[in-house]
Amino acid sequence: MSQRQVVLDTETTGLEPELGHRIIEIGCVELIDRRHTRNNFHYYLNPDREIDAGAIEVHGITNEQLRDKPRFPEILEPLTRYLEGAELIIHNAAFDTGFLDHEFERAGAGHLRVGEMCSVIDSLQLARRLHPGQKNSLDALCKRYDIDNSQRTLHGALLDAEILADVYLAMTGGQTALNLEFDTATTADGRRTASQRRRTPVNVAAVAPDRADLEAHAKWLEMLGERSLFS
């Protein structure tokens, strides 16, 4: 049976969903049997609240850009269909799953929980196991595994998910994607997008995540500090 994995990232109005912060961008990249399918899921979302100035400095997304975008309840059904049963790969998973669970609650779907819909691998915890005592931010891992992140001048959910997919494949056995200068993808709303990142093959020893890695997403320890590790 084919293994379906989804690499997921979000951008938000701030750091704490408990204080009313919201998801403003969600990007997902699908892998089947460790190969990119280009069946991506990507939306910008209207949060119905102001974005913190500090968050804008990180991702560059402003309220004006989001005024005509859908709200989270409008994408809830296609999102849950896309995620259902997948193995999620998320860098600092507690941050993103926490925001998603809060969005489910606000949308009237409080019975939904990411950890019950999917298994979750926290790539930050995996990187810390493989590289103890070293920097394990996404940028640091790109440098370590020779992954091209030259377009990452600001955070972006879909771009970061694409980069994380390459990093995860490198960390767990080597890159298996086609080495193309230009890759095309189809997003959830039917748009064709192009990425100019060159995918570089990397051959390293395979290291499978253990149970501790799979359970790490449920822990909220040091959330604020760990979120900063993604930059």
Cβ-proximal residues to 80 (8 Å cutoff; 6+ apart), any chain: 109, 112, 117
Distance separating alpha carbons of residues 89 and 20, to the nearest angstrom: 25
The reply to whether 102 belongs to the active site is no
Residue 55's alpha-carbon distances to 113, 221, 225, in angstroms, are 25, 21, 15
Which of 21, 42, 59, 155 is an active site residue? 155
The answer to whether the Cα torsion of 195, 200, 203, 205 is positive or negative is negative
Would you say 15 and 5 are in contact if contact means Cβ atoms under 8 Å apart?
no
What would the two tokens of residue 54 be?
């500090």
The answer to whether the CB of 60 falls within 8 A of the CB of 39 is no
Active site residues: 155
